[in-house]
Structure 1
Amino acid sequence: MTGQNVDATEDAGQRFQRRYRKIFQHSNDAVMIVDLERDEFVDANPAAVDLLGYERDELLDLHPEDIHPDDLQEVREEFVSQVVEEGSGFTERLTCLTAGDDEIPAEVSGAALDPEGSDGAPTRMIAMLRDISDRVERQRELEDKIDRLERFASIVSHDLRTPLTIIKGHASEARKTSNTEHFEKIDEAVDRMDRMLSELLSLARAGTVIDDRRELDLETVTRDAWDCVDTLSATFEVESTTALYGDGDRLREALANLFENAVTHGGSAVTIRVGRIDSDEKIGFYVEDDGDGMPDEIRDTAFDWGETTDSEGTGFGLAIVTEIIHAHGWEIDIAESTTGGSRFEIVIEES
């Protein structure tokens, strides 16, 4: 009977080991066994290999500091110490460095494993890592939306107050004097509010994800944008063209704002040129003019919401441009044109 009980106990232990190994091997989360005394990895499952980009043998030759170089001290103080003292722990503030030097945000839960050391502390722990890149990205997008809403609220409450005050003041004077000049001022303030609200709505739309992407020709889309702008006697030249992959409607909107900006600040007779950028450093296109250019002290804030040097402007034109460009995953920079005017460089790809 005793022998049969031993055999039964051994069979149960073997079954437990097989179940444990199957869970370890097939878990969707990265699972690693860490030797706490030697500060090294003892075992790693296939998900850990996939997550970190190492072969299993390579991974087992590494140390935790190789995987978490930036926050290892914090992990030891807040996570590992919790596992040692309480038997389990959790943290979502962990960055894993892969074999390709990519940083992956992860959450990790851990539990102490037997046997315990001579001082009663565990000598090994099991650590389960989960890639939370999607969660972090969603959180970042939510924070951006909240920031956008806060900026909109600030603009609406601040910038619209001025024309409303003008309307109220001139309406009061008009009732007293019946002077038509007050009605003209009211009309001007209403027109400014209308422009501001229109651009605010455009700005809100500009920051959304670009979905309708297709192949476009730079010359075609810029000429379409030019036809939509009141360009007075300004001159438009396409020096070269290139293929683009983007949302045509949104790009026309961005280009139209750049053209309007050039006419506003460069004068009605300004010449605007468009062409491709294809150098060893970057690929993209430019919009430049032969106006007076943009002072260095203004360039750093030119794309900020509400930033303008034009008393009649809303300050949202260039903000709309940069929102649309960034929504495409591109970058925009301000430089000086060969004639001393402003040059906006839209960088699609950098070397």
Structure 2
Amino acid sequence: MTSPALATVQLLGAVVAIALASYAYRHRDRPGVIWLVAVLFGNTVWMVAAGINYATGSTTVSTAMLQVRYVGITVIPVALLFFALSYTGTDEWLGRRRQLLIASPAAGALALALTDHVHGLFYAGVTPASNPQQIAYEYGMVAVPWIAYAFVLVVAAAAVFVRYATITDGVYRWQALALAGVVLMGTAADVLYFLPVPPTGFAITPLAILLSSAIAVGLVVRYDFVRLVPATRELGRRELIERMELGMVVLDADGRVIDVNPAAAKLLECDLEAVIGEQAPDSLPGPNGPAIAERTFNVDGIDRDVEIRTHRVDVGSGITLLTLRQLDDLTDVVSHDLQGPLMEIRGSADMAIATGDITHVDRVLAAANRIDDLATDLLELAHTGRGLEARESVELAEIAETAWRHLWTPETELVVETDRSVIGDPDRIQQLFENLLRNSVEHASSDHERGDDGIDTIAYSEATGDDVTQAQRTTRKSTRESNFDPVDERETAPADGGRIVVGSLPTGFYLEDDGPGIPPEKRERIFEKGYTTSQTGTGLGLSIVGRIVAAHGWSVRATEGSLGGARIEITDVDFVDESERTG
């Protein structure tokens, strides 16, 4: 091959390297990709220097290019090691100081190569020759240690990928081994160059590095198998995750599965090896799905509700962690819902004793019937799980006031500021409101007397007859009866009582109170089962709310209300069309 042809090959390779580096840079959010860009930069300098060397007829220019190429050569092995460490998630220890320490020999070699014409230590001799490079040279006493160090860095990078392959499985293993081979391609080309196998003076190493870089960029960008899960699966932590009863699925930005543990694979009825790298099953929410969702899976022949929580782990790379938990603890849920009817029984019984009015016994009987209904539901839920039994028009005001009557707290006022209707399961929506209202009552900031155990004790009125009836009407007064004027409601609110408001949002509805509110750092956790800020709370009420919201495909969040207390917003709701209601 003539010198012009060799020059053309090297310069075209440099153009390809620039294009590939530009493409990789656009995906620099992937772990390790920025170091691949550095490799391609170094390779571009090397190929440009080689191309000019082949194209020129000047010994002076060829000698200068012999020095310039080391601007690229010294970058490549260092960048390859940093790429391997970053991509496999083992770069936590690689701080700025260690980076400088590893790169220092390369910087020293570059300085010596560029100033060789002064001291002659890097090259023992450079003479004119008839080969394609126009010159012949021998390495000097300081070049040999650098070459050995460069080989060590490249072999270390390959070893990082090999180690990575030993602690992973499936597609991770073959990908790690492929990257180890890619890293060693340049070293193999170097060995061939020194034998020499190619034509004397033909630099095949930068071409091999170009090919290996293209393969590496393709693997990283195409599969995006970042370090999140493999890094956590090292050594003993791998066994821990695989033995967890909580299902775990990790998705990339495109919705592909990049890891799954056995618990999740059992729920999804999929093979651990086969699902890696494939699109997530349709039964799972995607990377942009709701924070909490509920799906039904068949587990051992029985339909089970499964709560799926979406955690955006890395916004930059789009990595999403899904946790799957079977909701088979239905006994806890239903026993928690018994508290509402029991509160009603206690309150009505106290009022019957205090006033002598036997009509309060009706409320006791109604609450007892509700307990019976909940017990019946428990049997059904325990065997089949529970989805939505009906989807029909539900008036928010009516269902909220029905739930309020079950709680019956004379010292707290409910204000309903919406006349919207939603599509959903009436029983589940009533259950949702009962839990929200109970939570607001229990954490109200009103002047309720508190017992030694920290539980609110309602100061019941000593009034009798019509006075009691009027008090009941006031606490249940709705703004539907006052043209939605909240000012009127404040004027009739109990002087020492709490206040709860139910209102509309553009895409849903909310419930807020005038209690102490929820600290911002705790708002993400309040819908977790068992999480409570009260010493006597069960931590189930708002988790039940989260389940009901997920079953409807809605979204829920906690924030600060206009009354200064907690505000629970439920969005992505299907409203009944107003024209259908009025028509």
The TM-score range, normalised by the shorter chain, is: 0.3 to 0.5
Q: Which has the higher helix share?
A: 2
Computing the radius of gyration from Cα coordinates, the structure with the larger value is 2
Greater RCO, CA 8 A, separation 6+: 1
Structure (1 or 2) with the greater strand fraction = 1
